[in-house]
Amino acid sequence: MTDSLTQPVITAVPTLDDMMDARERVSRIVDPTPMETSRFLSTELGAPVFLKCENLQRTGSYKIRGAYNRLSRLSPDERVRGVVAASAGNHAQGVAFAARELGISATIFMPLGVPLPKLQATKQYGADVVLRGHSVEEALRAAAEFAETTGAVFIPPFDHPDIVLGQSTLGLEILDQVPDVETVIVPIGGGGLISGVASALKRRAELEGRTIRVIGVQAANAAAYPPSLAAGEPTQITTSPTMADGIHVAKPGLLNFAIVKELVDEVVTVSEADMAKALLVLLERAKQVVEPAGAVGVAAILSGQVTATGPTVVILSGGNIDPLLMLKLINYGLAASDRYLKMRIMLPDRPGQLARISELLAGANANVLEVLHTRHGKGLQISEVELELSVETRGPEHRQQVLDMLRDAGFDPRISDD
């Protein structure tokens, strides 16, 4: 084992005995999370779909499993020295909570601008929080320097055997709850969760003489695994901004990559719009509050990235989301699902035209959200006005019905994307 940022090399998938030992340790503070059936997603996929609700886990994500397993295996001397970690949220809360339960002092470096709920939760679990840098990478460097100067034990977010073993307990739990599972869909950032879950699933499947398919999902704007797998080694990429901050990682973990390369059947990517739609579906259909990183598995089903192969479990890996961000994402998801329609209509400048438009929209059961009526738009004739409307619809078909109804009435609605 190592307590520095030096990455350990793994030469084999963890053994089932090691994973069972980790499960015994982790069960001291972690209760099994619910496994919910989703009729809507089952219809979409054409196979039974179950949602593994780690968004309801203590600290709001699966991260507590790996963090507690790692900290519980520290020596007495290491516990006295304390621990340090860096994270934008979920790993921070997992380490802080585990440290409190084990009576270990914890220092957590978080980037400036971290969502307030995650910052407050980490502090409330008893950690000393230091805000440093504008990215997780800068916070990680600061944590490494702190470990070097103070002797504190660095707790990596994914790239350590103890972390992998802790996350493997989730795979064992899935097998208890859905014994006949054939496919498991897992979010991927650095690879800690999927390497642990895949290890448990594949070891047990081999023992039982059957096959379980493991599919990883990354945000397209931070998808380091596809090029890394193509290159045969962990590869640093240049990421773009993504709402899925929990899996925004530019390079796979070394031991995680080795396990993924050996055990994971496929890695797919999803867009920002795909994730926004998935969050909306989870809220409306499953009544689950999930952060964007935790919703990528559902996004993969909705976008057709996954094909049906029997009972399928989707891991909802976390639910720590800022309410203000949730509000923005709901609106984004509604737009991505064609539930908003923004249009411009040129009208003769005479009384009754606005009332006529309102009457038509009411007849089509379209809800008007915003209206802008102007005589000063570019390209308008002296006898014209421009009406800009934002309308709520029930989806693509209803959206098209509204447009067709206006055109049939002699108007020329022009769809606006801005």
3-state helix, strand, coil in the chain (%, to 5): 45, 20, 35
Per-residue pLDDT at 9: 45
Nearest to 212 by CA among 174, 165, 164: 174
Q: Chain-wide mean pLDDT for the chain?
A: 91
pLDDT band at 306; cut points 50, 70, 90: very high
**Residue 369 reports pLDDT greater than 50:** yes
Cβ(251)–Cβ(226) under 8 Å? no
| Segment 4-19 mean pLDDT | 68
How many Cα atoms occupy the beta-carbon half-sphere of 338 within 13 Å? 11
Instruction: Specify the pLDDT at position 376.
Output: 65
Query: Out of 80-89, 262-271, 316-325, 335-344, which region has the weakest mean confidence (pLDDT)?
Result: 335-344
Structure tokens at 411: 């108007």
Nearest to 36 by CA among 314, 413, 235, 273: 314
Query: Hunting for tokens 């340090």 — which residue is that?
Result: 84
pLDDT for the residue numbered 348 = 85
pLDDT score, position 199: 97
**Rounded CA Rg of the chain:** 25
Residue type, 307: T
Residue 323 banded pLDDT, cuts 50, 70, 90:
confident
Quote the pLDDT of residue 10.
Answer: 44
**Does the pLDDT of residue 248 top 60, yes or no?**
yes
The bridge status of strand 213-219 relative to strand 183-187 is parallel
d(CA 199, CA 23): 13
Mean pLDDT of 280-290: 93
* Residue 3 phi, psi dihedral angles, 5° rounding: -115, 20
| Average pLDDT, integer, range 316-328 | 87
What strands lie across the sheet with 153-154, from one edge to the other?
A: 128-131, 106-110, 83-86, 153-154
Q: What is the pLDDT of residue 377?
A: 60
Nearest alpha-carbon partner for 187 in 84, 256, 284: 256
Whether residue 4 is predicted with pLDDT greater than 50 in this model: the reply is no
Pairing of strands 384-392, 83-86: unpaired
More confidently predicted of 384 and 216: 216
Dist CA 161 CA 153 (whole Å): 15
Which is higher by pLDDT, 170 or 135? 170
Residue 286 carries which DSSP code? I
Task: Collapse the DSSP code of 217 into the 3-class scheme (helix H, G, I; strand E, B; otherwise coil) and give the result.
Answer: strand
Residues 6 or more apart from 217 whose CB is under 8 A from it? 185, 186, 187, 188, 267, 268, 269, 270, 296, 297, 299, 300, 305
Average pLDDT of 142-153?
Answer: 96
More confident residue, 396 or 319: 319
How high is the pLDDT of residue 34?
A: 98
Mean pLDDT over 343-362 rounds to: 88
Stated as kind and residue range, the H or E segment containing 19 is helix 16-26
Q: Give the pLDDT band (50/70/90) at residue 324.
A: confident
253: left (phi over 0), alpha (psi -120 to 50) or beta: beta
Predicted confidence at residue 2, as pLDDT, reads 39
CA angle, 217 then 219 then 220, to 5°: 110
| pLDDT greater than 90 at residue 36 | yes
Three-state SS at 326: helix
282 vs 274: CA distance, rounded Å: 12
Percent of the residues in the chain that have a pLDDT greater than 90, as a whole number: 69
Q: Any idea how long the chain is? A: 418
Give the residue carrying structure tokens 């920002």: 272
Summarised one tens digit per residue, pLDDT across range 154-211 is 999 999 999 999 999 999 999 999 999 999 999 999 999 999 999 999 999 999 999 9
Does the pLDDT at position 101 exceed 60? yes
Instruction: Say if residue 51's pLDDT is above 70.
Output: yes
Torsion of CA 353, 359, 365, 367, to 10 degrees: 50
